[in-house]
């Protein structure tokens, strides 16, 4: 009984750890920053002073990124694979600058399609996704075929 309680407590603690990251099939830093900025701009309510700032309803912002194919995943710091990006998570009641982007994990600005890592060799094929076999799942739009994650 004590072992079960310890296991359940550990599971609860582990599921609460980590930060949320945005990703999608064929993620690039350039695409994320453009979509992030556009969603802040289109879903936020502009303020007069200073210009370039908005007040953003969290649900509208997340719906905008989701509509553009992005989805959220939770990762522990230091274990974040390429193609995962930090977006605004804590929505303050004060205006946010449209060009604001949180600090990104190491390697986030590297385009995984142009600079494949040692575990993901991505050819110049739009039907091949930059995921390892473990990461290649239907929820990301992929299936493992012939040693590659394919659309």
Question: Does the structure show a pLDDT above 80 at 18?
Answer: yes
Question: Does the structure show a pLDDT above 70 at 117?
Answer: no
Q: Which of 14-18, 37-41, 123-127, 134-138 has the highest mean pLDDT?
A: 37-41
Q: What is the pLDDT of residues 1-12, one digit of tens each?
A: 555 544 444 444
Mean pLDDT across the stretch 70-75?
A: 93
CA atoms within 13 A on the CB side of 58: 7
What is the rounded CA–CA span in Å between residue 147 and residue 32?
Answer: 27
The secondary structure of 97-118 as a DSSP string is ETT--PPPPTTTTS-TTTS--T
Q: What is the pLDDT of residues 123-132, one digit of tens each?
A: 567 777 777 7
Spatial contact of 129 and 140, defined as CB atoms under 8 Å apart: yes
Spatial contact of 130 and 28, defined as CB atoms under 8 Å apart: no
At residue 111, the pLDDT reads: 60
Spatial contact of 36 and 27, defined as CB atoms under 8 Å apart: no
């Amino acid at each position: 009984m004590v072992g079960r309680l310890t296991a359940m407590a550990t599971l609860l603690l582990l599921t609460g750890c980590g930060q949320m990251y945005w990703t999608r099939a064929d993620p690039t830093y350039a695409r994320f920053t453009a979509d992030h900025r556009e969603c802040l701009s289109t879903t936020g309510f502009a303020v007069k002073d200073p210009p370039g700032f908005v007040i953003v309803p969290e649900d509208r912002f997340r719906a905008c990124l989701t509509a553009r194919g992005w989805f959220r995943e939770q990762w522990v710091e230091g274990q974040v694979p390429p193609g995962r990006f930090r977006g605004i998570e804590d929505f303050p009641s004060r205006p946010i600058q449209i060009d604001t982007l949180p600090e990104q994990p190491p390697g986030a600005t590297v385009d995984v399609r142009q600079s494949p890592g040692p575990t993901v060799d991505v050819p110049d094929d739009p039907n091949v996704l930059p995921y390892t076999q473990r990461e290649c799942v239907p929820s990301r739009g992929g299936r493992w075929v012939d040693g590659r994650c394919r659309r």
